Amino acid sequence: MCVFRLAQLLTLLLVLAALAGCATSAAQPPRPRGPDPYFTTMYGPQPDEAFPLPATDISKVDPRYLRQQVPYVTHEPPGTIVIDTPNRHLYLVQGGGMALRYGIGVGKAGLEFAGEARIGRKAQWPRWIPTSDMVAREPERYGPLAGGMDPGPTNPLGPRALYLYQGNRDTLFRIHGTTEAWSIGSAVSSGCIRMFNPDVIDLYNRVPEGTRVVVIQAEEPMSAPMPPIEPPIDAPVEAAADNPLLSF
C-alpha cells in the first residue's frame, strides 16, 4: 500500500512539474528581434542638418536594403556608382572586390534611363520643380507646386541631390533623398532614384562631381556597355540647361 501511494505521489509531482513548465513557457513568449543596433545608429536622427532629420524607421525594412559593405564582382573601377534598378540597389565600387551597397526606390523616370553618365552637380537641401508631365498627369497634386518647392523636410528631393549629366547636358536623372522611407526597395509612381535620407547624405559625402555612374535596367553583366540616352520628349535640352531642377 505504501509503495502504491508513493507511486501515486511521484506521478502527481511529475504532472504538476509539467504543468508548471507549460505555464512558464506560456507566460514568457520569445521576444521579437528588433533592428540590429548597428543599423539603428546608422539611421538615427541627424540634428545638425539645416533642417534636422528624425530617425529613419527601419523596423519593417528588408535588411538587404540597408547600407552595408558587400562582395561585388565588376570590371568598373573603384569610385564608380552602379545603379542596379531591377534589384533596387546602388553600389559604390570599392577596391578588393568589395562595394558599398545602398537600397533604392525606383520611380518612373528612373526606369526610363539606362546608360552612363557623370555627376555634373551636387546640391544640399535642393529646391524642386515638378516636370510639366507630372503637372499634366496629376494637376491637383502638382499644379500648386508648378512654381517650385523650397528646401525643407517636405521637399521630395530630401536633404541631398546628385544631378546626372552626359557631356554638358542635364539628363534630368537624379539620385536624391525621400520623404517616403517606406518606398525604398520598391517601384514608385514618380521620381528617379530615391534613397534613405541618411544614405543619400553618406553617398553625397563620398563622391565628387565628375563621378562616373552606370545605370542598368535589365539583368545583364555589370560590365556590359551601355548606350547613351536621348532626353525625354517633354523635356527639351534647352529646358534642361536652363533649369537643372526640373525632375526628381
Hey, which residues are catalytic here? Answer: 176, 192
Q: Is the distance from CB of 145 to CB of 130 less than 8 angstroms?
A: yes
Written as one letter, the residue type at 38 is Y
Strand ranges across the sheet with 212-216 = 68-71, 98-103, 89-93, 81-84, 212-216, 115-124, 160-166, 169-176, 193-194, 105-106
CA 83 to chain centre: 11
Cβ-Cβ contacts under 8 Å for 39 (sequence gap 6 or more): 58, 63, 66
Helix (H, G, I), strand (E, B) or coil at 104: coil
Name the residue among 241, 227, 23, 29 with its Cα closest to residue 121. 241
Cβ burial 9-26 (10 Å sphere, 16+ → b, else e): eeeeeeeeeeeeeeeeee
